[in-house]
Amino acid sequence: MRTDRASFEEFYKSIGKTYSPYFKDYIYFTDVGFKHIRFKNEQLMRPSKDIEMRIRLLPIAIKSIGASHTVQNKTIRKRLEHRYVNSRKELAMIDVTYYEFIAIIDDWRVRVVIKQVNNAEMIFLSVIPAFKQKMPLEESDIL
């Protein structure tokens, strides 16, 4: 897959949604995931090598969502999120649930993060390659 912005954006928008056997529901690929692949936060863009790696791993992330029957981690956090109240967009402190799936597909180990805000539809947030993941501490590391 070409990694230039226009072809990636076209590919990303063509995905739309993919079925997850774990949730027995669809995971949607929205602008949130598209922005997260390119930006760390609203002001800071990711390094180009990081963006290219995440773009290359996107097809593997789609496969892993479709193949995963177990979740490896579930985290619930209170976060400031945009919501619409009376046709007006505002920031509010809302429960956000993050689900993490770890899969080895086509010799790539990836972590896929799915985001759900206030029990609404689940959206793809990120794909992270294995070498970017923080490994848990071993008992020997603590001693």
Helix (H, G, I), strand (E, B) or coil at 98: strand
Q: For residues 40 and 134, give the distance between their C-alpha atoms in angstroms, rounded to a whole number.
A: 17
103-113 average pLDDT score: 89
Q: For residues 19 and 26, give the distance between their C-alpha atoms in angstroms, rounded to a whole number.
A: 4
Q: Are 111 and 100 in contact (CB under 8 A)?
A: yes
Mean confidence (pLDDT) of the chain: 85
Helix (H, G, I), strand (E, B) or coil at 101: strand
Q: How would residue 23 be classed by pLDDT, with cut points 50, 70 and 90?
A: very high
- Span 67-102, pLDDT tens digits: 999 899 999 999 888 777 788 888 889 899 999 999
Sign of CA dihedral 74, 114, 32, 36: positive
pLDDT at 131: 65
CA angle 115, 120, 121 (to 5 degrees): 65
- Side chain identity at 76, as an amino acid letter? I
Neighbours of 30 (CB within 10 A): 17
Q: How would residue 140 be classed by pLDDT, with cut points 50, 70 and 90?
A: very low
- Span 40-70, pLDDT tens digits: 888 899 998 988 899 989 999 999 999 999 8
Give yes or no for residue 103 having a pLDDT over 60.
Answer: yes
Q: Calculate helix-pair angle for 31-38, 48-67, nearest 10 degrees.
A: 140
22-27 average pLDDT score: 95
Q: How would residue 134 be classed by pLDDT, with cut points 50, 70 and 90?
A: low
Q: For residues 90 and 39, give the distance between their C-alpha atoms in angstroms, rounded to a whole number.
A: 22
Beta strands in 1-143, from DSSP E residues, in sequence order: 17-20, 25-28, 73-85, 88-105, 108-117, 122-129
pLDDT at 98: 94
Give yes or no for residue 1 having a pLDDT over 60.
Answer: no
Cβ burial, residue 109 (10 Å; 0-12/13-18/19+): middle
